[in-house]
Amino acid sequence: MKLALVGDIGGTNARFALWRDEQLESVRVLATADYPGPEQAIRAYLSELGLAPGAVGSVCLACAGPVDGDLFRFTNNHWRLSRSAFCRELQVRELLLINDFSAMALGMTRLRDDERLPVCPGTAEIERPCVVIGPGTGLGVGTLLALADGSWLALPGEGGHVDLPIGSPREAELWQQLYRQLGHVRAEDVLSGSGLLLLYRTVCALDGHEPRLSSPAEVTAAALAGDAVAVAVLEQFCCWLGRAAGNNVLSLGARGGVYIVGGVVPRFAELFLASGFTRCLRDKGRMSDYFEGIPVWLVTAEYPGLMGAGVALQQALGRS
């Protein structure tokens, strides 16, 4: 494949890299707020590397949101993209747009052993689906399937927008507090960076604490320092993530394994590994035994979405 460019564009950051010989080169992270659109961000990226538009023949962008048609509106930032205008402006021959969690799922196929931590032991059944789920700016959910020809299929979806699952009286009380603020309560409303702060404020309101933390980073830092309220918030966050992941496993028959990804959970990995995540993952009544033997990993790789975008481009151009 000729020199190509891959991007992983979320709500806050856009990650770009060159893709050559099935490897990432020259990774850069740009703030989406600093550019009016993806064309301007990519021009700045290429300029930094001394490359002009037209230097890359193919581009794959992993984008947050459903991908369809010529015009794409990014879900969690102000950017818009017209496929035809993009290709003209940057002199690109092939443009592949894929859902960001399709890219994340494909990135799991290139993980090294030191880029994931075991959460639940087990043996992946290679012919069965894998669930890829992770809180970041939003909550992403993807499905990964191994195909008979050795390639991979990533199924896009909008699983972060399903209803927040309720599995205990305490969670029902928290849900009622959330419902009074939001109306419909999505999983993403809690299981995301901003959702962590919302959950903290909701716990404080329910339990009569004066909220003193004002950002997700402060909640995480307070929990790591032993603050009892913040620890309880992270514990509930992990339990809800377990319930959401478990629902996906049952819906998909995902005995191929579960990958926990995204930028939020690795920041408190030790607390996560000691949390009620596994208990809530498997808390499915008569179907609880279904989870025996399904492996779960916490992914610590730095750029799995970019790697997955490269894999998608390889497969799309028939060079895998």
285 assigned ligand-binding residue: no
Whether the pLDDT of residue 58 is over 50: the answer is yes
9 assigned ligand-binding residue: yes
Find where tokens 């060079």 sit. 319
- Together in a domain, 60 and 133: no
**What digits encode the pLDDT tens for the residues 84-116?**
999 999 999 999 999 888 999 999 999 999 999
- Together in a domain, 146 and 44: no
CATH code of the domain containing 218: 3.40.367.20
- Together in a domain, 142 and 182: yes
Question: What are the phi and psi torsion angles at 214 (to 5°)?
Answer: -125, 10
10 assigned ligand-binding residue: yes
Number of domains in the chain: 2
8 assigned ligand-binding residue: yes
11 assigned ligand-binding residue: yes
7 assigned ligand-binding residue: yes
Find where tokens 């009892």 sit. 228
Quote the longest CA-to-CA distance of the chain: 60
Name residue 210's amino acid. Answer: E
Model-level pTM?
0.91
Tell me what pLDDT residue 3 has: 87
Find where tokens 């499905």 sit. 143
Q: Which stretch of 91-100, 112-121, 260-269, 287-296 has the lowest confidence by average pLDDT? A: 91-100
The domain containing residue 52 runs over which residues? Answer: 4-105+303-316
CATH code of the domain containing 41: 3.30.420.40
